[in-house]
């Protein structure tokens, strides 16, 4: 899958709603300093919930709202970013199979008398498109709320990350290379570079699971040893 379009509304230096199509064969965004090139990457991180405000070069999330929105004096200022992805036929098949398996598993543990889910609302997206939207609303007092939506349906950040994981987009991963990352990768030692390769190949995920299993096993052994000591004291 790849990013097909990025739409920004009142995000950082973008004072209005701007849709940026990233057509097939797209390779680069060019422009003079201060034209907002880096803000496009910040917008992508913002919409997908892949970084905190510092990762998007802002002290606080409200700083991401275009200043013209703040200066207008409205009770609430809002910024919105929508990312549209295009999926390949193979990815569509894999996702459909995964969703069918999950639905079957959920059906086994669901009460048959439960209220059936509401039908999906009509969507203007093509069958091979997948869309994520994030809105940030800021009040005059500086408080803010953030909300997410997948294909127009509201969702939590956890639900979004679950969907991103299915598509191999990880908050702690290397789908996005930030400024300075290339220099950092070049200067790191071979072990650190190997960790990045393992992360990209999906090996690191299994290493984490192995470590978690070992921790649980050590905890069980420790508890077993304590129980054996208590049993021996009682027998004596």
Q: Report the predicted TM-score, pTM, of the whole model to 2 decimal places.
A: 0.67
- In Å, what is the CA distance from 101 to each residue of 96, 98, 104, 108, 217? 9, 5, 5, 11, 30
Q: What are phi and psi of 63, to 5 degrees?
A: -70, -10
Residue whose C-alpha is closest to residue 88's, from 96, 100, 80 = 96
pLDDT tens digits, 79-125: 999 999 998 888 888 888 877 877 777 777 665 544 444 444 456 78
Q: What are phi and psi of 174, to 5 degrees?
A: -125, 35
Residue with tokens 């294909």: 151
Return the pLDDT at 155.
94
Return the pLDDT at 181.
72
Distance CA 193, CA 95 (A): 31
pLDDT tens digits, 38-71: 888 889 889 988 777 666 777 788 888 887 766 6
Distance CA 81, CA 132 (A): 8
């Amino acid at each position: 899958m790849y990013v097909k379009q990025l739409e920004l509304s009142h995000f950082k230096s973008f004072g209005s709603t701007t849709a940026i199509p990233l057509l097939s064969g797209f390779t680069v965004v060019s422009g003079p300093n201060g034209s907002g090139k880096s803000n496009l990457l910040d917008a992508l991180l913002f919409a997908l919930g892949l970084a905190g405000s510092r990762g998007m070069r802002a002290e606080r999330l409200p700083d991401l709202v275009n200043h013209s929105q703040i200066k207008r004096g409205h009770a609430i200022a809002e910024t919105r970013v929508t990312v549209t992805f295009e999926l390949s036929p193979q990815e569509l098949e894999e996702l459909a199979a995964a969703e069918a398996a999950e639905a079957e598993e959920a059906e086994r543990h669901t009460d048959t008398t439960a209220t059936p889910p509401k039908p999906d609302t009509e969507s203007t997206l093509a069958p091979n498109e997948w869309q994520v939207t994030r809105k940030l609303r800021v009040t005059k007092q500086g408080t803010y709320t953030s909300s997410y939506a997948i294909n127009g349906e509201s969702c939590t950040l956890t639900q979004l990350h679950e969907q991103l994981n299915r598509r191999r987009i990880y908050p702690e991963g290397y789908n996005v290379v930030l400024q300075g990352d290339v220099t950092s990768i070049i200067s790191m030692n071979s072990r650190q570079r190997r960790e990045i390769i393992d992360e990209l190949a999906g090996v690191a995920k299994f290493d984490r699971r192995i470590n978690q299993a070992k921790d649980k096993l050590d905890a069980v052994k420790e508890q077993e040893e304590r129980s054996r000591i208590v049993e021996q004291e009682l027998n004596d």
